[in-house]
Amino acid sequence: MTFKATVLTLYPDMFPGHLGHSLAGKALAREDWSLDTVQIRDFATGKHRNVDDTPAGGGAGMVLKPDVLAAAIDSTGTDTRPRLLMSPRGRPLTQKRVREIAAGEGVVIVCGRFEGVDQRVIEARNLEEVSIGDYILSGGEPAALTLLDAVVRILPGVMGNDQSGVSESFEGGLLEYPQYTRPAEFEGLPIPPVLMSGNHGAIDKWRHEEALKLTRERRPDILDDQGSDGSN
């Protein structure tokens, strides 16, 4: 089954962007996954084909019109793919959610612009608001590319060695342990001896301890969310 991504945007030329290169690009060429874009403006009516209007109640900026966006969403069909709206007020994207999306048949992503999207279309079309961080972008397109990057790379066959994704940050509830490679010594700094020992049990133990240490130092919130010290 080919994973099907559909992106609704006012700037379709921004896609596939970096996803047209490297492993994701090769997988796209092999049709391991597909990417379609929908130009939201195509569903605007009237002489000027306006896609936005002033906020009800006043205020700065413009808001995407619900009738235009609803028509664009409806054009994607009635399949069961989740409909996501990239939004700074959405739930933070997690590796768990990425894996859930990757396990499905695909995803529909709405890229907001201006001051946001009319709340009525969010509710009427059951849009799941998703955030990639606590900061503001000029639009949802970079966020959509980031989400798709996270999803596509773990689709079967994309990375070649599926084991590559198993030990990465967040996969085991911890940040990833430090990595090293040859030369054995760099500017007077050696590779930790345990990694050269050939003792896989000792290596696994060292990696887990280093991952736990990094997580405690840099992202203690991850351990707090798990209600765990990371020892399991």
Summarize pLDDT for 120-162 with one digit per residue, the tens: 999 999 999 999 999 999 999 999 999 999 999 999 999 875 5
pLDDT of residue 232: 47
Q: pTM for the complete prediction? A: 0.88
Helix and strand numbers (H, E) in the chain are 7, 9
Please report, for the domain that includes residue 73, its CATH number: 3.40.1280.10
How many domains does one find in the chain? 2
Residue 162 has, within 13 A of its CA and on its CB side, a CA count of 4
Which domain, by its residues, includes 219? 167-226
Reported as type and span, the H/E element at residue 9 is: strand 3-9
Question: Looking at 124, 152, 180, which one is the last position of a domain?
Answer: 152
Taking only the tens place, the pLDDT of each residue in 23-71 is 999 999 999 999 999 999 999 998 889 999 999 999 999 999 999 999 9
Cα 69 to Cα 26, 50, 80, distances in angstroms: 32, 11, 19
pLDDT of residue 173: 84
Using alpha carbons, select from 104, 122, 109 the residue that is nearest to residue 83: 109
Taking only the tens place, the pLDDT of each residue in 177-204 is 999 999 999 999 999 999 999 999 999 9
Q: Is-contact 83 128, C-beta < 8 A? A: yes
